[in-house]
Amino acid sequence: MAEDAVKAFFYGSLTIEIVTEELERFLNICSYNDLILWDLQAEDKSTKFCVYKKDFEKYEEIGKKTSCRLHIIKENGWPYLFRKIKARKSFFFGIFLGIFLIIAASQCIWRVEIYGNFYYGEDTIRRFLRTEGINSPCMKNQINCLSLAADIRKEFPRVVWVSVKRKGAYLTVELKENELIEEKSEETNLAAADLVSEYNGKVVSIVTRNGTAQVKTGDLCSKGQIMISGMIPLVNEASEVYDYEKTKADGDVFLQYKIYYYNEIPRIQEIKVIKKEQKSVSVFLGHHLCGMFPQKWFDRSQFILVNENTKWGMKIHSFTYEKEKNICSEKEIKAMAVEGINRELARIRKKGVQILKNDVTIDINDASCISKGTFTVIGKAGVPKAITAEPVLDGKDIMNEQ
Amino acid sequence: MNYEKVYLCYQIPEWVCVENYKKLLMCTSDQIILSLKDCRVEIEGKHLQIKYYSKNEMRIEGCIETISYHK
């Protein structure tokens, strides 16, 4: 039965409706002529059945003999389907192209995922994979997971276990690094250091995590002064210092200090006057692609990013201009000075510094506009400085004498 | 025409298969009568359908109730 269905599909079949009172005679003549039919369904006045496309002419002849009328109800199978496909070429071409693209795309690795790396950065591993010819996208058959895993272990000595596997369009690289080596190396890298101030200011708060605090809240602190010492004194029962333990000082020290600001803006400004404006051209390039071209190409162009999320749509607004000297009014120059101060404040805030006071004054004269003054801020201070001087061991001498 | 042995196999009430039949005498959705070499077979039921019909073989499907032979 399945064979017949396949045969009917490839040769083409017709569903015929016949209206006759001599159905039995019609069927017997068909049988006598060695014709095959199937799915015969006799109803009150008509009968429906299926025949092969190639036999239809013979049925018509028999129909004439037995005075029956044959109506084609439905056309099935490949020959009719092919006719429909020919009529809708573009649609089916699109389907086949889509299938082809899916198959072609499924032959590639589109994404490389790296897990379990702590010591080695993802960029480092990706750079190594690129040297091995594994980029996204790359062909799946180019990747030999076993040899790649061996190469990773060879290249990165800290990696003790590696698994490279292909999962669909993803290449997953799982690593396990030797944590013991890392801990040891951290210990060796840990050098004894003091925490020194990089500003002149007043200590607002101090929290010591490691080391000995040398300043307290409210103390004035000068640049380069030790705030937390890396020398921890060891005392004996008589509360005498007999030795020092060197450590890396650590803690949070917040200082109130001043940041000096000076900005001079000349009143005569050069402005670009657009002489001839050309048409805007939309170019769909990623900005990293634009970065490949020399900067001078874009000197007289303005880029407008169309979509900031995708960063792909880009419009080039091209124009020619001439530079002209313009004397700014007091209002304009003051606005520029205020803008400069605000920009500086924003830059300071970005560092995570709290601004307490703004003492910047704007002085406008005939030649320029000078903004100068200080910002009083509270911010985290302290940079590590290696301990070079050896401590005086008075306590140890005492112990030796005893 | 040389008629060979007639084979009639069935699975009631689903289908009946007849080989080497002689002639179709009647065909409706309730009754199909076939002429064999030396007898007549009446197949009665509901929604009868000739699933396959060729010179030597016929398969009838539907809700078959009775199959009777008449000399």
Dump pLDDT digits (tens) for A290-327: 444 544 555 555 555 545 454 455 555 566 677 788 88
- Any idea what DSSP says for residue A328? P
Note the Cα A188 to chain centre separation in Å: 36
Looking at the structure, tell me whether residues A7 and A136 fall in a common domain.
Answer: no
The last residue of a domain, from among A82, A97, A123: A82
Looking at the structure, tell me whether residues A175 and A207 fall in a common domain.
Answer: no
Residue B63 resides in a domain: yes
**Looking at the predicted structure, is the pLDDT value of residue A267 above 80?**
yes
Looking at the structure, tell me whether residues A7 and A130 fall in a common domain.
Answer: no
Count of structural domains, chain B: 1
Q: What is the pLDDT of residue A402?
A: 40
The residue assigned the tokens 């005075």 is A67
Q: What is the span of the domain harbouring residue B39?
A: 7-70
Predicted-complex ipTM score: 0.87
Looking at the structure, tell me whether residues A262 and A335 fall in a common domain.
Answer: yes
Residue A13 resides in a domain: yes
Q: How confident is the model at residue A395 (pLDDT cuts 50, 70, 90)?
A: very low
The last residue of a domain, from among A139, A161, A181: A181
Q: Which of B21, B49, B57, B63 to mutate to test the interface with A (most CBs of A within 10 A)?
A: B49
Q: Say whether the peptide bond before residue B13 is cis (omega within 30 degrees of 0).
A: yes
Q: For the whole prediction, is pTM greater than 0.80? A: no
A31–B48 C-beta distance less than 8 A:
no
Percent of chain A past pLDDT 70, that is, above it, reads 82
B49–A31 C-beta distance less than 8 A:
no
Count of structural domains, chain A: 4
Residue A66 resides in a domain: yes
Residue B2 resides in a domain: no
B28–A24 C-beta distance less than 8 A:
no
**Each residue's pLDDT tens digit, A160-184:** 899 998 888 888 999 998 876 555 4
**Looking at the predicted structure, is the pLDDT value of residue A347 above 70?**
yes
Looking at the structure, tell me whether residues A247 and A335 fall in a common domain.
Answer: yes
Burial of A153 (0-12, 13-18, 19+ CB in 10 A): middle
Helix, strand, or coil (residue A198)? coil
- CA-based nearest residue in chain A for residue B51: A39
Question: Which pairing describes strands A361-364 and A37-42: parallel, antiparallel, or unpaired?
Answer: unpaired
- What number is the average pLDDT over the span B33-39? 86
Residue A155 resides in a domain: yes
B28–A36 C-beta distance less than 8 A:
no
The last residue of a domain, from among A135, A152, A181: A181
Residue B20 resides in a domain: yes
Q: What is the span of the domain harbouring residue A355?
A: 191-267+328-402
d(CA B5, CA B14): 24
Q: Is residue A68 a contact partner of residue A20, using CB atoms and an 8 Å limit? A: yes
What CATH number is associated with residue B14? Answer: 2.60.40.2000
Looking at the structure, tell me whether residues A222 and A342 fall in a common domain.
Answer: yes
Residue B1 resides in a domain: no
Residue A186 resides in a domain: no
Residue A87 resides in a domain: no
Looking at the structure, tell me whether residues A398 and A290 fall in a common domain.
Answer: no
* Angle in degrees, 0-180, between the axes of helices A78-87 and A2-11, rounded to the nearest 10: 40
Q: What is the pLDDT of residue B45?
A: 92
**Each residue's pLDDT tens digit, A102-116:** 998 888 888 889 998
d(CA A77, CA A53): 9
- Any idea what DSSP says for residue A329? P
